[in-house]
Amino acid sequence: MNIRNEPLAQNLSGPIAGWLAVWLTLPAWGQAQEESASSSRFSDQPAPLMREGFPERPPPLIEWGDKLLGPGNLQQGFTLPTGANWSPSLWVYGDYRSAVQTFNPGKAPTISEWANRLDLYANLQLTGTERVLVGFRPIDQVEDGVPRYSGYSFEPAYPEKYHGWQNETRAAPNTFFFEGEFGEIFPKLAASDRHNLDYGFSIGRQPLLLQDGLLVNDDKIDMISVTRNPLFPAGAATVRLSGLFAWNEIQRADNLSDHHALMFGLDSAVDAVRSTYEATALYVASPNQGDGFYSGLGARQRFGKINTIFRIEDSVALEKESARVRNGTLLFSEMSFDPRGTHDLVYLDGFWAIDKFSSADRGPYAGGPLIRAGLLNANPELGQYGSPLSNAAGDAAGANLGYQHYFDPLRRSQLILEIGGRAPTRTTTVLEDQASGGIAARYQRAFGRRVVLEFDTFGVLREKDALSAGARTEILVKF
C-alpha cells in the first residue's frame, strides 16, 4: 500500500492502516473546503426553490392566520389545559357555478333554464387534525324533495310558479361539524403514545360518501362518527375502522325524506399487498317506513397497466318493501388505462342490477346509485338538467366506454367522448327502464387559476320513445 506523508501509519498494515490514512488526510473539523468539480457530487449548498413555470398559489377569499398551503413560519399558538397546542387560522373559500342549459327528456316537456349555485365554506383550522367547518349554499334549496336553484326558467311554462325568475335564497348552513383526534386533543392522557388514543371523530351536519356513493351519497346528514386509524394486523399494511350513528336528514332510496329514521353503521378499509379492500354494513331503523340492512364490498387494484375497481352492494328490506327500502343487489366495475405515450385515459364502466337495489341514504341532489357509471348517467347537480340515461339500479344491466383526451402538456383543456347504454333484465312498462343507448361529450377549458369553462351535450335513443337530447354551458369560478 502506498501512503504519502503518513509516518504514523508507515509501520501499520491491513484495514487499520487504510482507515487511519484516510482519517489523517481529512480536513480539520469546521474548515471550509472547496467543492469538488465532479458532476456526480451533491452540493453542500441548498438549492433555491425552482418556481419557473409554476403558477402562484391562489389564496382563498379570506385568509387569517397561517396561510392555506403557503410557505412561511407557523404561528406559535397557545396551549390548552389538556396539553394540546392550538394555533387558529380562518380560511373562507368556495366556488360559484352558473349554467345555461336545455334538456329534452323525450316525451316529457323540454326544460330550458339559467341555473346558479354558490358553495361557500368557512374553515376554522385549529391544528393539523382539529377544525370546525361551516358551509352554506345560499342561492338554492330543496322544496318538496326537489332541488330548486336561483336563476331563470325559460320552459316549460307550467306550473307558473316555476316559470320565469326564480329566487331560492336561504340563510341556514348546509354543513356544520367539528372533527379532531382524541390523542391530539388530550396528549397528557397519552404521553409517549402509551395508551394509543389515535381515534379520530366528527360530529355535526356533514357530507357522507360510502362505497364511492353507491351505498350512501349525501351532502348533509346529522351524525357522529369515530375512526380508528391506523391498525396494523398481520398480512396488511394498514386497516381503518369507522363506526357511525346518524339521527337526522336521512333520505331513503329515491331521495325520499324519512324524519324518524336512525342509521347505525360500520365502515372499514384494508390496504393489502396488491389491493385496497373496503367493507361497509349499515342498519337503518324506521318506525314508519320499514327497517333495512345494507352492505357493500369493494376492491381497488391494478392489473398490469389497467386500474380496476369492483364492487358488490346489497339492500334488504327487513319488514316489507316500500319506496324507501327494497331488496336488491348491484354489481359494479370500473376499468381504465392510459394509452402509451399519452396523458389520456380510456375507461369502461359496467353494472348489473339484480332486483331493485336501493341505497341506504341519498341526498336530494345526489340522483340514483349509478351516477358514477359515466357522463351518460351523471347528474350535474345544477338545475333541472337530468341524467341522459337512467341512474336507477333496478333489474337492468349496462356499460359505458369513454376516452378522455388532454390537449396540452399542462392539461388545461380536455375532451371526453363516451358511448353507452342500458337494457332491462325483466319485462317492464316503466318508461325509464326501457332499453336505451346514447353518446355524450364534454369539453373543459381552464382559464387562469380560478375559472373553468365547460360544454356538455348528449343524444339518447330509447325503445318506444322519442329521441332525447340536451346541451349545457357552465362556468365554474373557484375563490
Residue 13, pLDDT score = 41
This prediction has a pTM of 0.83
Contact 326/261 with Cβ under 8 angstroms?
Answer: no
Q: Cα–Cα distance between 289 and 360 in angstroms, integer?
A: 13
Residue 194, pLDDT score = 64
**Topology of the domain comprising 63-478:** Porin (2.40.160)
Q: Cα–Cα distance between 419 and 438 in angstroms, integer?
A: 6
Residue 428, pLDDT score = 64
Q: Answer whether the bond into residue 287 is a cis peptide, omega within 30°.
A: no
Contact 411/439 with Cβ under 8 angstroms?
Answer: no
Residue 34, pLDDT score = 56
Q: Where are the domains of the chain?
A: 63-478
Residue 341, pLDDT score = 85
Show the cell assigned to 8.
Answer: 504514523
Q: Residue 322: name the closest of 261, 370, 256, 366 by CA.
A: 256
Residue 464, pLDDT score = 77
Residue 237, pLDDT score = 78
Q: Cα–Cα distance between 69 and 240 in angstroms, integer?
A: 26
- SS3 state of residue 455: strand
Residue 16, pLDDT score = 42
Show the cell assigned to 186.
Answer: 388530550
Contact 401/420 with Cβ under 8 angstroms?
Answer: yes
| pLDDT means over runs of 10, the chain (479 residues) | 38 41 43 60 76 80 91 85 91 97 89 96 94 96 87 89 90 93 83 73 95 93 91 77 93 77 94 91 90 95 93 93 89 95 93 93 89 93 92 93 89 93 80 83 93 96 86 96
Residues 6 or more apart whose Cβ sits within 8 Å of residue 254: 323, 324, 358, 362, 368, 392
Write the DSSP symbol of residue 410: T
Q: Residue 253: name the closest of 290, 308, 206 by CA.
A: 290
Residue 191, pLDDT score = 65
- SS3 state of residue 431: helix
Residue 363, pLDDT score = 87
